[in-house]
Amino acid sequence: MRDAVVIWRRRRSPLCRPTDLAEAWVALVAALLLVTAAPAVGWLTGSLTEDALRQSLRAQRHQRHPVTAEVTGPGGAAAAAFRDDPAAADGRHRVRASWTAPDGRVRSGTVATALRAPRAGDRFTVWTDASGRPVPRPMDEEAARVHAALAGVGAWAVSALLVESARRLVLWRLVRRRFARLDRAWAAAGPDWGRTGAGS
């Protein structure tokens, strides 16, 4: 950017080439985009993501219901099927339990519980859909905000990377054009350049 400022100050100099001015303009436009457009893209993406997550959160709260389940026994052999389940990663246990679904039917099955030492008769909360099938708990608002913030930061970073990549690509093309002109000028001088009486 500093080089672009120097070029801009010397733009009226006869030694300032058109490619130098183009380079200064490209640097200025890239700086403006990095300061204005990239943050705007990040903010817009974060806002849209937060709106979408809030709608999803409302739908999840409407479709998922907390019910009280009662432990009827250990998870037993069925728990082996859940070895790769995220429930095992956060210290939860698989148990056999029964609960009353929102539609009034009694359901039972193997579910995850946060109880440290579950025993028959212990009660805990299970999230279910309208028919009583176990479902993950709804996303909380804090998680939605974090996801939206991460989406906004990611969009800002990608936008900034695209602007910088475009600036470097244009700069590369300008340098190649500058070298091509220099090669043509050098070729026009010919092999007689610098010889006495060669007219140069």
Structure tokens at 77: 């052999």
Q: Measured between alpha carbons, how far is 39 from 168 in angstroms, rounded to an integer?
A: 20
Look up residue 139 and give its DSSP letter.
P
**Which of the pair, 154 or 196, is modelled with greater confidence?**
154
Q: Are 67 and 42 in contact (CB under 8 A)?
A: no
**Which of the pair, 12 or 116, is modelled with greater confidence?**
116
Match 């907390």 to its residue by tokens: 66
3-class secondary structure, 199: coil
3-class secondary structure, 31: helix
Q: Are 144 and 53 in contact (CB under 8 A)?
A: yes
Look up residue 198 and give its DSSP letter.
S
Mean pLDDT of the chain: 81
| Cα–Cα distances in angstroms (integers) from residue 31 to residues 17, 28, 151, in the given order | 22, 5, 23
Quote the pLDDT of residue 54: 92
- Judged against a pLDDT cut of 50, whether residue 85 lies above it is answered with no
Half-sphere exposure of 165 (CA within 13 A, CB side): 6
- Judged against a pLDDT cut of 70, whether residue 81 lies above it is answered with no
Residue 44: partners with Cβ closer than 8 Å, 6 or more residues away: 155
**Which of the pair, 62 or 87, is modelled with greater confidence?**
62
Residue 151: partners with Cβ closer than 8 Å, 6 or more residues away: 45, 46, 49
**Which of the pair, 75 or 183, is modelled with greater confidence?**
183
The band of 168, judged by pLDDT with boundaries at 50, 70 and 90, is very high
Quick one: how far is CA 90 from the chain centroid? 25
Instruction: Give the whole-number percent of the chain exceeding pLDDT 90.
Output: 31
The band of 16, judged by pLDDT with boundaries at 50, 70 and 90, is low
Quote the pLDDT of residue 120: 87
Q: What is the mean pLDDT of residues 135-152?
A: 91
The band of 86, judged by pLDDT with boundaries at 50, 70 and 90, is very low
Q: Are 135 and 64 in contact (CB under 8 A)?
A: yes
- Judged against a pLDDT cut of 80, whether residue 90 lies above it is answered with no
